[in-house]
A and B are shown apart, each in its own frame.
Chain A
Amino acid sequence: MRAHWSTLVILSLIVLLVAAIGALGNPVVQRVVTDMLIKLVVVLGLSIFIGNSGVLSFGHASFAALGAYGAAWFTMPIVAKKLFLPKLPAFVLATQYGLTAGATIGIVFASTLALIVGIAVVRLSGIAASIATLAWLVIINTILANADSLTKGSSSLVGLPLDVGAGTAAICALIALAVAFFFKYSPIGLMLEASREDEAAALAAGIAVHRLRLVAFVLSGAVVALGGVLQGHFLGMLSVGQFYLEFTFLTLAMLVIGGMRSISGAVMGTLLIATVGELLRVGAGGGTVGGIAIPPMPGMREIALALIMLFVLRARPSGLMGGHELALPSRLASPK
């Protein structure tokens, strides 16, 4: 399958369109769009590993958490750090960097840990690899939730600079899109895809499946970490629970519902689930319809979201895009 440039162009235009809606809309729309674009960064990150290798990972939320906290240690104002995290190492307490430098530190930190656990994960295949990532997620969650001096433990860490808006999120989403696209059509991506379809045949053809999976794992961990950094600096607060099973579930659902075998699937799944989720939030928040007061119903939004997911899966078991990419019809397009 050859890279199809129109796919990258179409998806970039979709991202820009979403960002434009955010830029023109009121503050509420703006926040919704920013949140959606951040989720898109995360889901594209997931697709780099899961989509190409076919191995499900439950562990990537940990990289979002590690990236977010890693960046926050350096971007928080020194005063806020001394107040909330007085036990940080002295050199961290004394420094304050901007978002770019902080994000770089967070991403490097998360990727290093991704490399370490990745070495273990890629040696396993199928469900054993998935369970190892799940175990990793629990490990990191337990450590972060109890490392009071680094994370404030089970209470929230506040005071992160609010540096991320729709613009920053859109730029990062475009970067993530480009990374995912170029990786997928790189020799490494194509060889991984071969191993996804038939691992034994790929090995027999001389493809170093484990090593390539490790590359994908670290790269996807880095992109997901970027998503975590963005989320922290968008909300201005971090809590360990923010990056646990619900985060894992929602982002994986976006990927699978869109169709995990294509980048277009990751994008469309994210946009669909995020949009539906927001619309439902409005619905479940209560209010008055036609003069009748409707009380807020906690849980209603999640119930409806789950039902919609089940219906989509039922109608399209291999995802909305079914493994296809959005592309212009062209004589140059190679048939799949």
Chain B
Amino acid sequence: MTFAIQTLIDAISVGALYAISALGIGLLFGIMRLVNFAQSEFVTVGVYTLMMLANAWFPLAALAAVVVVVLLALTVERLAFRPVRNADPATLLIASFAVSYFLQNGLVLLFGARPIGFDVLPGLGQAIQVETVRIPLLNIVTIAATSTLLLGVGLFLRLTRTGIEMRAAAVDFRMARLMGVKADRVIAVGFGLAGIMSAVVSILYAAQTGTASPAMGLQLALVGFVATVIGGMGNLPGAVLGGLAVGAISVLLQAVLPPDLRVFREAFVYAAVIAVLLLRPQGLFRSAAERERV
């Protein structure tokens, strides 16, 4: 029972990180059909910002990470993606690959390819004991921070005019534009939101791993794509649930697989992804608007 509860808490906290990654990727995919590989570098740049400010007062460092990553996301949108916005998805994808390659190697040039260790909020390493269950403080913070963020983004998307415009754009961009939604603004806000979410992920991820290395964001971005697709494209709650599901599956596999199969965990997770796609090609949580029309 103790083991089950601990695994469950682990699963939720890993799944929550994935869910935020997936939401950022799903948002941009929905609006502009962009599979944004560069999101992994948004996270990585956030981690490096924290690393440089490791000795500063934490709230200041966190704020700096958010500002840097949001500015980065907006700059990337303006310089790299806006000029090719109307090209086909393959071109957009290669552009995002190129941005990711650029940023990742920029970090190599500035900081070297080796991982750099540092501590974000060392206090989070402790755990709370509730009867027999030990809950790492970090997991609690992760779950609290991600649910607050998801709630905030959810309210923003539901209640504000911009948010409603973004949801409309995610469902049908062309139709939304015809109804007066401003493309530039919606996309810029989308990148801004993706930046904020990546920054939060970077803080939690840095606290979890305690290192900064140039390719560290990749795993999160890969899971983000997969989660977006199995959640149902253009369906933002679906992306979040998809992220949670992928996180939960990997933690559960880690717990139940025999030790010599554990190294193959990723293979099992991604095989499950293919299985889900085959059984539900439109995603687990299919949005009504996404049905293919002729």
Contacts and interface: CB of A to CB of B under 8 A. Distances in A.
Contact of B80 (A124, A130, A139, A310): A310
B80 A131 contact: no
A299 B97 CA distance: 15
A13 interface: no
A256 B94 contact: yes
Interface in A95-122: 117, 120
A134 B277 CA distance: 12
Contact of A131 (B87, B112, B273): B273
Interface stretch (A32-40, A159-167, A223-231, A300-308): A300-308
Contact of A249 (B29, B86, B101): B101
Interface string A297-324: 1111011011101100110011100000
A304 B197 CA distance: 29
- Specify the main secondary structure of chain A where it touches its partner: helix
A50 to B, nearest CB: 8
B164 to A, nearest CB: 25
Q: How large, as a class, is the contact surface on chain B?
A: 35 or more
Nearest to A199: B292
Interface of A: 50, 56, 117, 120, 123-125, 127-128, 130-132, 134-136, 138-139, 142-143, 146, 200, 245, 249, 252-253, 256-257, 260, 297-300, 302-303, 305-307, 309-310, 313-314, 317-319
B267 A257 contact: no
B263 interface: yes
Contacts of A56: 89-90, 93
B267 A139 contact: yes
Given A128-B277, A142-B267, A249-B101, 17 more contacts: A50-B90, A117-B274, A125-B281, A128-B283, A131-B225, A131-B277, A136-B270, A139-B271, A139-B274, A253-B94, A260-B90, A299-B113, A306-B98, A307-B102, A310-B99, A313-B94, A319-B91
17 contacts: A120-B277, A123-B281, A124-B281, A127-B229, A134-B226, A135-B277, A139-B266, A200-B294, A253-B98, A302-B102, A302-B105, A303-B109, A306-B99, A307-B98, A313-B87, A314-B84, A317-B84
Nearest to B109: A299
Contacts of B292: 125, 200
Interface string B104-116: 1111110011000
B97 A253 contact: yes
Contacts of A128: 229, 233, 277, 281-283
B35 interface: yes
A120 B99 contact: no
Interface string B263-294: 11111001101100110011100000000101
Nearest to A317: B87
